[in-house]
Structure 1
Amino acid sequence: MLRERAAAHPGREALVFLPASGGAPERLDYGTLDAAARSLAHRLCALGAPGRPVLLAHPPGPNFLKALAGCFYAGAVPVPVPLPGPRGERLHRLTGVLRDSGARLVLTDEEHAPDLSLRLAMAGLGDTVCLAADRPEATAPGGEEPPARSGGDLALVQYTSGSTTRPRGVLLSHRNLLAQQSTLQGMLRSTPADRLGGWLPHFHDLGLIAHLLHALWLGTRCVQLPPATFRKSPVRWLEAIGEHGITIGGAPHFAYERCVEAVTEEQAAGLDLSGWRLALDGGEPVRPAGLAAFTRRFAPAGFRAEALCPGYGLAEAALAVSCGRPGLPYAVRDFDAARLTAGELRPAAPGAASRALVGLGRPAGCELRIVDPADGSELAPGRVGEIWVRGEGVARGYWNRSPGGTDTPDGAETFDATLDSGEGGYLRTGDLGALEAGQLYVTGRLKDLLFLEGRTIHPADIEAAPRELSPALGTGVGAAFTVEADRPRLVLVQEIRADRTDPGRLPALAARIRLLIAEEFEVPAENILLVAPGTVSRTTDGTVHRARTRTRFLTGETESLYETLTPDVRALVRPEHTALGHDLLQRPVPAEADLAW
C-alpha cells in the first residue's frame, strides 16, 4: 500500500511534525518515506530481523514512521514503545516489554541510542542491540522488493497500558490492520481530502492506527504534535487544527476537559475550529458535561456540536468497535439510576435519580453481543452485560501467551469465547454496556465494579460525582476502589487544585464529598484523600489506573493534602500512626452549617 502511494504521489506529504520548540515543521513526503523504509529494511534483513519482534523506541517525529515502514518492508514485527525520559521515566515499561517479547533489537535515533543502550545494560539487558536507525550506517541501498506477506502474518504487536511487570502485547495481523482501516473509512467517511492528526503518541492505538496509519491508508497527510506540547499548552493542539487544516483528529475525553480548563478567553478568540469536522472522543468514559462544556467554550471559534464523535474501541479489536455518525449530534440519555444498578437501561422518570450516559454509536465492522458473563447467554436490548465482539479486526491473542491456555485474561476464554448457544469466536472485552435503539452505552468495567452494602456500583460514577462541589475539584481526577479492612471499605483518592481553595477548608470539602456519596449511592464514604494533581495513577493514554492507585495507597505511598480514614483502614495503611495514637487526632467532621460555602 505504501509503495503504491509513493509511486503515485511521491511528493505528497505523509507527515507534518510540529516540534515542541515551536520551530519550523518537519515534513516527510511519501517518496522520501518509501526510500528511507527500503534502505532500513535492507539493514534489518542483514540483522536477521524478519519475523522477529523489533522495539521502536523513538521520540515523536518522522523517524518513527520511517522505522515502522522499514519493519513492514523487511517483514520484521514492530513493537512501538515509549522512549524513556532523561531521568529514566518509563524505562520500566520498556524493559518489561523487552523481557516479555524476547526482542533483541531496539530501533531509536542517534541522539538517544547511547543513553538507552547504557540504561538497558544497567537493567541487565546488555545483550540488546540499540540501533540508531537515522544514522547512514544503519541503512543501505535497498531496491529489492519486500518479502511476500499474507493477511494472517503478524504485522505489529501493540502493548496495552496494563501491568509493567506482566505487560500484554496484542497480536495484530495484516488482515486485522487492513480490516480496521476499511472500518474506519466507513465510520468516519474519510477521503484523501481529509487531514488527520493530533498529539497522541505513536505507541497509543488511537494515535498510531487512527491518525498515522489511517492517513497512509487514505494517501493523505498526518499532522503530529509531541504529547509534551499538549501537556504544557493544550491550546497548541487547537491552534494546529486550524493552522494545518486538520479535519479528523481526536483524543481521550480528559483532553477535551483539559482544554476547557486551560485555554484562556484570549487564546480561544484566536482559534479557528470551523474545519474540524470530526473530533473523536474515546479511550475512557465519555462524560456528557465535558462534551457540553467543550462545545460551549469553543463554539465562538467555529466548533460545532455535531463534530463531536464519541466512540468505543480497544487494542484487542485493532481500535474501533463503534462510533457516532459523522454530521449527526451525539446521543445523551438519562437513565434511571436504581434500574441501572440492577443492570437495566430504563428512561428516568421526572424527579427520579438518574445517570446520564453518552451513546457511543452503532457497532461497525464487527458483530457485537451483550452477554451475561455468568452463563454466556445473550441479553436483550436494554440489559447491561459484558460486551463481546468478533470480526476481521479482532486480534488472535497476546504475545507469548497460549491462545488455548487456561489463564482467563490471556487464553481462549478471552479471545475465543463461546455463547451458551454454541456460537464462538468472540472477544470478551471486560467492559460492561448495553444496546438501546442500536446505540452502544458503556456503563463500566467488569473487574472494576464495587460491591458495597449489597449494592453494585461503577467506580466511574463515584469519581464523577464530586466534580461540581467546588472549583478546587473541577476536572480533577479521582480513583475509587475498595480495600479489605474490618470489612470492605470504600476509598476515594481525589485530586484537587490547591491553588483554588483555602487549605483550612479541606476538611469541610472532604466532608461534603462524604455526604454527597452517601446520599447519592447509599454507601458510607468514610475514607477520603485529597491529593495534589498527578497523584492518581494513569495509563499512557490518560485513563485512570485504579489498580495501581490502590496498590500505592495500600503500601503507604499516597501523600495527601488532607485525609480522613476509618481506624481500621488507617491501621492498614498508616500503622505507625495508629501505634502512636495519631488516629485519635483526626480533625472532627464540620457541622452541617459549616458546609455551605
Structure 2
Amino acid sequence: MQQARELADREAFSFLSDINSDQVDCTITYGELHREALAVAGWLSDRVSPGDRVLLLFPSGLDFIKAFIGCLYAGAVAVPAPLPDGFRAQSDRVDGILRDAAVSAVLTDEKNLPGIADWLTGQAGPEAVCGAVGDLGPADGAGEGQLPAVSRDSLALLQYTSGSTGEPKGVMITHGNLLDNLELIRQCVGGGPETRGCGWLPLIHDMGLMGQVLWIAYVGGRCLLMPPTEFLRRPYRWLELIDAHGIDSVAAPNFAYQLCNRTVTDERIAKLDLSRWKVAFNGAEPVLADTLATFAERFGPAGFRVETFVPCYGMAEATLFVCGTDKGVAPTVTTVDPAALAKGEFTAPADGASGRELVSSGTADPARIRIVDPQTEEAVPDSGVGEIWVRGGSVAQGYWQQTELNGRTFDRSMADEHGFLRTGDLGVVYEGQLYVTGRLKEVINVRGRNLYPQDLERTVSGLHERLTGAGAVFSLPEHSNAVVVVQEIKPRSLELDDFQEITDLIRRTLVREFSITVPSVVLVRPGSVRKTTSGKVRRTLMKDLFLQSSLTPIHEELSDGLRIR
C-alpha cells in the first residue's frame, strides 16, 4: 500500500507474451495494482475468512500478481500452483495441493475459468468457490478501512516446494517472513524506484515470486515479465530485452546462463549492449564456476562485467534468500582437493593436481548461518564440511500439517542457541564465505568418501556430443551402494554399437575419475530426466522411477547383481 500512495502513477509491471515484438501486452501502475488487488480482496472477503487458503492457478501474466496481492489484503493465504493443463505429473501435483491445503477458493483468469471450474467441481464438488481476476466487478472492491487486520505473524503464503528430494510440501510463510527476506535482498544489492528488472521465471516458483516480483515491488522498481517457454525457445531475446529496456537487475538459475552460453551466436552478441546490467542473481541450483567464466568472457564484448553476477543461496524454507555476493563484487571461486572434500575437508589441491572449483554464495553471517555435524548436531571446526543451519526472521514457520517433520527440521537447537532450520544442504564456511557442496540426502558414500552427484553428472555430460547435459546420478544403499547413472542422449542415427561404446566410455571414466565400482548406466531420450521448475535434477524421483522400472531406456548396462527389471 505504501508504494500505491507514493508511486501511484509509476509503472510497476508489464508483460510481453510475444518476445519477437517490443510491444508489451499490458502494463500496470502501482496505483492500478492497488485498486485491482482491492477488488480481489473484496470478492474474497465475501466468500472466505482470514486464514483460509486460496489456490492461485494462472498462466504467465499480470493477473497472478493482482490475485496474490489481493489475498494478502484479504488476510487469506495464497497458494500458488501450476495450471492443471493435461500433463499427468502437473495435474497430479495440483490435485495433491488442493487436497493438502484444504483450499476454500480458487482464483484464475477469465480465459481459464470455465476449465478450472469444471476441474474444481470434479475435485471438490459443486460447493467449491471459483472466480476470475478481471471479472469480479467494481462493486466487489473493498475499501482500505474494510480490510482485516494483518500482523507480521499472519500466514501469507503456502509455498509448495518443488520436490527435488521428495514429495512437495507446503512451506508456511508469514507476512513478517516476506518483509524480512525482501529486506535481506535489498541489503545485498540495494535497489529503489530506479531499478528495472526483466524476468521469465514462473511466478509459482519462490525465486520467480520473491526474487523477481515482490522484491521489485518492495523497492518500488519496474519489471518486464515474459513467459518461461519463450525464454527457453529463444534465450537470446531475453538478452535483447535487457538491452532494449535498459534492464539492470535479473534473477535466474545457473542453467539460464548456460543456455545463453551455448545458444547465443557471436553475431547476436555483437549487436548487444549489456553495459547497464548491474545485478545478475544466480541461484536456485548449484552455481558453476565455468558457467560464470564463460558467460563473462562471451558477453564481455557487449559490456557485461563479471562483477554483475550475484551468486546466491536460498530455499523456500527460508522464504527464499539466505545470502549472496555483494553487488559490484566479482564472485569468489576457490579450488579445492576433491579427495579431501570427500572426507569433509576443505583444502587446496597439491601442486599440479586437478581440483574442483566451488563458487562462494556470499558472506556467511555468523548470527544466522552455521555449519553443523548432522549426526552430533554440534558446530564443525572452521573450514569443515557439514550441514548448513540457518535462523532469523526469514525462516518459515514449518511445513503445512507436517508436525513430525517440522520437529526434525525447524526450531532446532545447537548448544544454547535456538531457532535453527536444518537445510539438508552440505556446505562450508571458508574465510567468511559460504560454499554449498551438495545435498545431504543425495551424497553418494563410497568406502567412507562422500561423492557429490553433480560432479559425476557434469563429468558424464561432457564425455560425448550426443549426451545432452541432462542426467541424474544416485546410489542404492539397499544394493550395496551401487551407483546408477541415468543420462539423456540424442539417439538419432546411432546404432547399437554406438550406444555400447558411449556406455562403456561413461563407466570407464567414472571408475577412473572417482574410484567407484562399475556403475549401472541407463541411456534415455531427451526430456526423460525430471527436473523442478528451477532446473534442479529430481534425483530422488529418478531413483524411484528406476526402482519401479518406470523408465524407458534406449540402452542400459546394469552392474552384476543389480537386476531391478
Q: CA deviation at 1:344?
A: 0.8
1:418 corresponds, among 413, 416, 426, to 413
The equivalent residue for 1:441 is 435
Structure 1 residues 45-124: aligned runs within 5 Å: 45-86=45-86, 90-123=90-123
The residue type equivalent to 2:190 in the other structure is R
Shift of 1:124: 5.5
CA displacement, residues 225-261 of structure 1 (integer Å, 9 cap, x when unaligned): 1111112211122122112222111211111111112
Query: How far apart, CA to CA, are the structure 2 residues paired with 1:217 and 1:299?
Result: 31
Post-superposition shift, 1:192? 2.0
- Tell me the matched-pair count: 562
Question: Per-residue deviation at 1:470?
Answer: 2.3
Give CA deviations for 1:197-227 in whole Å, capped at 9, x if unaligned: 3110111111111111011111111111111
How much does 1:560 deviate?
2.5
One-letter amino acid of the counterpart of residue 259, structure 1? C
SS at match of 2:307: helix
SS in structure 1 at match of 2:185 = helix
Within-5 A mapping of 1:246-257: 246-257=247-258
After superposition, the C-alpha distances for 1:125-172 in whole angstroms (9 at most, x for unaligned) are 554322112214486232242222211111211111128995311111
Distance 1:180 1:364, change over 3 A: farther
Whether contact under 8 Å (1:529, 1:560) holds in the other structure is yes
Measure how far apart 1:504 and its partner are: 4.6
- Distance in 2 between the 1:349 and 1:452 partners? 22
Partner of 2:521: 528
Q: Secondary structure at the match of 1:572?
A: coil
The offset of 1:358, in angstroms, is 0.9
The aligned residue for residue 582 of structure 1 is: none
Which residue of the partner structure matches residue 340 of structure 1?
341
| Displacement of 1:468 | 2.8
| Partners of 1:341 and 1:456 within 8 A in 2 | yes
Deviation at 1:399, TM superposition (A): 1.4
Distance 2:439 2:87 in 1: 34
Provide closer, same or farther for how the CA distance between residues 217 and 530 of structure 1 changes in structure 2, counting only shifts above 3 A: same
TM-score normalized by the length of structure 2: 0.95
Q: CA deviation at 1:401?
A: 2.5
Q: How does 1:427-576 map to 2 (within 5 A)?
A: 427-473=421-467, 476-483=469-476, 487-498=480-491, 504-569=497-562, 571-573=563-565
Structure with the bigger RCO (C-alpha within 8 Å, sep 6+) is 2
CA gap 1:377/1:165 in 2 versus in 1, 3 angstroms: closer
State the Cα distance separating 1:438 from its structure 2 match: 0.5
The residue identity in structure 1 corresponding to 2:499 is L
Query: Partners in 2 of 1:469 and 1:139 — Cα distance?
Result: 63
Match of 2:227 in 1: 226
Give the structure 2 partner of residue 260 of structure 1: 261
- Partner letter of residue 480 of structure 1? V
Contact 1:92–1:164, Cα closer than 8 Å, also in 2? no
Deviations 1:344-384 (A, max 9, x none): 10111112342111111113596100001111111122100
**Secondary structure of the corresponding residue to residue 250 of structure 1:** strand
For structure 1, list consecutive stretches of 5 or more residues without a partner in the other structure.
574-597
Q: How far did 1:499 drift?
A: 5.9
Identity of aligned residues (%): 40
1:167 maps to 168
Q: Residue deviations 1:486-527, cap 9 Å, x none?
A: 633110011234469777533222212111111111002331
CA pair 486-183 structure 1, distance change in 2 beyond 3 A: closer
Q: Deviations over 1:37-76 (max 9, x none)?
A: 1122111111124221101111111111111111111111
Report SS of the residue matched to 2:275. coil
Query: Which residue pairs with 2:317 in the alignment?
Result: 316
Paired amino acid for 1:554: L
Say whether residues 1:19 and 2:12 are aligned partners: no
- Deviation, structure 1 residue 7: 1.9
- Residue pairs, 1:25-424, within 5 angstroms: 25=24, 26-86=26-86, 90-123=90-123, 127-137=127-137, 140-145=140-145, 146-162=147-163, 167-363=168-364, 367-402=368-403, 407=404, 410-419=405-414, 421-424=415-418
The 1-side partners of 2:349 and 2:366 are apart by 32
1:82 positional shift: 1.2
Aligned to 2:313, the other structure's residue is in SS state: strand
Q: Is the 8 A contact 2:41 2:141 kept in 1?
A: no
